[in-house]
Amino acid sequence: MFTGIIEALGSLRKIERKGNDIRLTVASGKLDLSDVKLGDSIATNGVCLTVVQCLADGYVADVSAETVALTGFAHYKVGQQVNLEKAVTATTRLGGHMVSGHVDGIAKVDSCEHRGQAIEFWLTAPVTLAKYIAHKGSITIDGVSLTVNEVKANAFRLTIVPHTASETTLINLKAGDSVNIEVDLIARYLERLMQGQAEHQPKSNVTMAMLANAGFMK
């Protein structure tokens, strides 16, 4: 589990393609690796990756074919910057929102405009994910916890404050770029809960015609 508060900027040092899978070597920048061990999770551009090898200044992780298909990793290049966050602990401050690190898909950046000191982005999400994106709700973009400021169909607007922009890869985004998105975890669980209730709801044989014939409707 993560919070979407980026701890450091890293870069991709090596990308090895193994069939449909990928093995990444990540230079971790200023990320504190003193407490990281084999098997730990590090969100890399919003994707929860398991450390399979610890390095002095980075780590090695494998990306499965399914994750490659759902994220931007298929098109990443050596030297590309990535947002990094270690998994939360019992004492971690939850400064963003609950983030699983399981990316739901890819959104496209439609526009980028400076408004005062902030940067305003419009993005388009896959239609299948639009129902989970709510005005003033939370969303994760390349691992960064953000608030949705406006929604139009499957397009949504984000406002990035200067600090967030300078501490993440978001400052480099431009129209036409793709980003990893993870929708609000609570929205997904709520949907599943409601589906389960509907499936177990007893079906009624009462029809509108029956109510009309019985005099309940005019």
CATH topology agreement for domains 8-86 and 105-200: yes
On the question of pLDDT at 211 being above 70, the answer is no
Domain 105-200: give its CATH code: 2.40.30.20
| Cβ atoms of 89 and 25 closer than 8 Å | no
136 torsion bin: left (phi>0), alpha (psi -120 to 50), beta (else):
left
What pLDDT digit, counting tens, does each position of 134-180 carry? 999 999 999 999 999 999 999 999 999 999 999 999 999 999 999 99
pLDDT of residue 215: 60
On the question of pLDDT at 197 being above 90, the answer is no
pLDDT of residue 4: 95
pTM: 0.86
pLDDT band at 208 (very low <50, low <70, confident <90, very high): low
Domain 8-86: give its CATH code: 2.40.30.20
pLDDT of residue 41: 97
Report the percent of the chain where pLDDT is more than 90.
Answer: 79
**Rounded distance, CA 114 to CA 187, Å?**
30
pLDDT band at 210 (very low <50, low <70, confident <90, very high): low
**Rounded distance, CA 45 to CA 64, Å?**
15
What pLDDT digit, counting tens, does each position of 46-104 carry? 999 999 999 999 999 999 999 999 999 999 999 999 999 999 988 888 888 989 999 99
Q: 176-214 as b/e, with b when 16 or more CB fall inside 10 Å? A: ebbbbbbbbbebbeeeeeeeeeeeeeeeeeeeeeeeeee
| Cβ atoms of 197 and 145 closer than 8 Å | no
On the question of pLDDT at 187 being above 90, the answer is no
Q: What ranges do the domains of the chain cover?
A: 8-86, 105-200
